[in-house]
Structure 1
Amino acid sequence: MNPGFHKSFGASFRQVEPLEIEWPSYYESVESEYHILKNAGLIDFSLYGRIRFKGNDVLDFLNRLSTNDVKSMSDGDVCVTVLTNEKGRIIDSVRLFKDSECIWMICAPQNDKKVFQWLDRYIIRDDVKMEVVTESWDQFEITGDQATVVLQKLFGKIPSKGKFQKVIFEQNDLIISSSNILKIPCFTIIAPQSTSSKLWSQLSMSGAKACGWDAYNILRIEQKIPLYPYELSDKFNPLEAGLYEAVSFTKGCYIGQEVIARLDSYNKVQRQLHLFELDDQVSFENKILADDKEIGIITSSVFSIMHKRNIGLGYVKTEFVKNNARFTILERSKKISCTILNSELKAS
């Protein structure tokens, strides 16, 4: 959506690293919006990528190029799957929505063109047509225990968890999908850009309150949710990232399948994504050290509102994984201690 629209709602913007994009950081305050997200938060996720597929071979095509059992999808289904390269490394973790006319793919911010180009390499004689629609469709997330109430006021019936449906707004089709990705009710809305400003206003009038990226990022790190390009990139594989629910070990072959199957069968996952307690916030991709030896990397860090301490996500070599193990991060010549936490932190 237009930045000027969000500024009219009081948004403050900042550049999100390493994406180098301007995103609404907060509207009132990060702390208040953190709590709003658990009630009825409204976030603009239009910078996520959207690709639309049509053709008789789309399901078979995507099934050959991603980790989950996409081929079994029916109309109204939502499926999370991972696109992997020949080495089993992550290109993106995507969500698919299937209806009778097309399949929608939601990919990470600023990753739509990369995903499109990679998929396009494998279309040979397949009846598959792809279109990047990121610029013509917007995307919102509504989160929290009251999100259902907000949507029912506008649309009546809403989809059950793991499903999506089409609704009519201003004589246009919208897509609404349901998930529990933040361990709270979450709904994704995909809307034509021509209607998105009015839709945002209507959602606000129905009880949803605007929230920025900063509060969402704190919540997703607390819940150990990986995101491209931080925890998800071609440096890591889906098993290292803990994306087991997005991997089928019984379906047929796909790009990277042999590597992933071998890692699982022989218990050869060399790194694992974990939550850390940090003595201070650290920079993206800072190294984790044990006795001055590199054993991992920090991918995200924030000050946790729930736990009243600095936390972060990062990968560490499997052999070093044990509860309360302490390591060191070197941040601009300053040594910062970090502790791996296998169990959930208790709120302070």
Structure 2
Amino acid sequence: MATMRMACLNHITATTLLPCLYNGSILPRRSFRVRNGSSRERKFHLRCASSPSDSLQFDFSPPPIDHDLLDTISDGGGKVSKDGVVESFQNDDEALDAFDTGVVVVDLSHFGRIRVSGDDRVHFLHNQTTANFECLNQGQGCDTVFVTPTARTIDIAHAWIMKNAIMLMVSPTTCRTIIEMLNKYIFFADKVEISDITKKTCLFALAGPRSNEILSKLNLEDLIGQPYGTHKHYSFDGMPITVGVGSLISDEGFTMLMSPGGAASVWKTLLSEGAIPMGSVALEKLRIIQGRPAPERELSKEYNVLEAGLWNSISLNKGCYKGQETIARLITYDGIKQRLCGLELSAQAEPGSTITFDGKKVGKLTSYTRGRNRSSHFGLGYIKKQAASIGNTVTVGEDISGIVAEVPYLSRQHPPSTNPSS
């Protein structure tokens, strides 16, 4: 494993008051110092709003400035692809263990960030995706699914409701498609603007059972224990940063959205507090083991949102929206014929392989990965309901045995409440 050069973070040294960068109000300043190997100190200031209303006086819209985050990651042993994706730190098994027992930090800056603004933005997204945006307030958030008119899946988005915009975080492969689709549905009188701010921002995910400890050390305890999607604005080393509960990779942990100019400092600080870096190779392995569907694998025009099991992102009571008629019909007439499942496999299998049960075709493998230390095999696939019970033995391809297994992400999905506010 590559040795990471990490700065040692001292605890917060002082709490004073200073004007907010965004609205001139007086906010608490939290400062801390980071020592490097040459005993020099850098002093960082972490400023946050003193009340929920103050925290939403500004919106995250930083300028497109150059940054040295990828240089910092490369210098620390990270392998970065030509298109700027952090692929590996040569520590995949260690990072997967840290997700279970410690804390990992993942650079998700190659994922898409879409800013939806304008007076009609809430109503617009309410009609275009599966979640109930009209029941959310500033500072809250949710997951929502982009679907076709027949409820076929496009992508899962993590959304934040801000004062002047809604921020959507989506998969790297769907960002452009989603922007084009949203622009297509903006009519002449609609007050909606769609902006791609992916290259103007950086995005980190902090995940694992020790995530709360790191937030406490950074004096961000006000987010611990808050509902999924809750987010607040801060200032780190003079740069804006928004921190939210949950992320694109885990319901637990936190998301950090920031200006590129401050990203390297944030990254170094998280490593100095004990976060283990995780690259995209280990992240893909984690995604499959956790059972989270992804575009071009489990999310496609072949499968609808209910077959994908994305119940936590769907509202049944919000009125008309894209895909609603199909979703309602599937539920009313028990039309869900197959579902996404985990599979413990006896050997390596190719995605796209046929899944059979008692000699009959019942589904298709959509994703495959090797387990930790390359000692096991795991996959995801769609299987017809009659063969999809946990513990059933199926055959993948010609002769690979598979046992239907429960996966954490899908096991947390529950049919939406009939409460009108859901």
User: TM-score of the superposition, structure 1-length normalised?
Assistant: 0.88
Structure 1 spans left out of the alignment, 5+ residues: 16-20
Deviation at residue 306 of structure 1 after TM alignment = 10
Counterpart Cα distance in 2 of 1:158 and 1:37: 23
Amino acid at match of 2:94: S
Pair 130,110 (structure 1): closer, same or farther in 2 beyond 3 Å? same
The number of residues matched between the two structures is 336
Find 2:133's aligned residue among 70, 78, 84: 70
Deviation at residue 257 of structure 1 after TM alignment = 0.5
Matched, 1:37 2:99: yes
Q: More deviation in 68-77 or 276-285?
A: 276-285
Q: Deviations over 1:18-49 (max 9, x none)?
A: xxx77434314211111122312111111111
Find 1:96's aligned residue among 152, 156, 159: 159
Matched, 1:188 2:250: no
Matched, 1:277 2:344: yes
Pair 48,214 (structure 1): closer, same or farther in 2 beyond 3 Å? same
Pair 152,229 (structure 1): closer, same or farther in 2 beyond 3 Å? farther
Q: Is the CA contact 2:289–2:407 (under 8 Å) kept in the aligned structure 1? A: no
What's the counterpart of residue 318 of structure 2? 251
Pair 12,57 (structure 1): closer, same or farther in 2 beyond 3 Å? same
Matched, 1:338 2:402: yes
Counterpart Cα distance in 2 of 1:13 and 1:281: 27
Pair 59,190 (structure 1): closer, same or farther in 2 beyond 3 Å? same
Deviation at residue 203 of structure 1 after TM alignment = 1.7
Counterpart Cα distance in 1 of 2:271 and 2:407: 37
What's the counterpart of residue 313 of structure 1? 380
Pair 341,147 (structure 1): closer, same or farther in 2 beyond 3 Å? closer
User: TM-score of the superposition, structure 2-length normalised?
Assistant: 0.74
Counterpart Cα distance in 2 of 1:342 and 1:30: 23
Deviation at residue 182 of structure 1 after TM alignment = 6.4
What's the counterpart of residue 161 of structure 1? 227
Matched, 1:27 2:60: no
Deviation at residue 292 of structure 1 after TM alignment = 6.1
Find 2:282's aligned residue among 199, 206, 215: 215
Structure 2 spans left out of the alignment, 5+ residues: 1-67, 409-422
Counterpart Cα distance in 2 of 1:202 and 1:343: 32
What's the counterpart of residue 335 of structure 2? 268
Q: Is the CA contact 1:26–1:33 (under 8 Å) kept in the aligned structure 2? A: no
CA RMSD of aligned residues (A): 2.5
Amino acid at match of 2:197: V
Counterpart Cα distance in 1 of 2:367 and 2:222: 33
Deviation at residue 158 of structure 1 after TM alignment = 4.2
Counterpart Cα distance in 2 of 1:188 and 1:56: 26
What's the counterpart of residue 18 of structure 1? none
Matched, 1:172 2:235: no
Matched, 1:53 2:103: no
Deviation at residue 86 of structure 1 after TM alignment = 1.0
Pair 181,23 (structure 1): closer, same or farther in 2 beyond 3 Å? closer
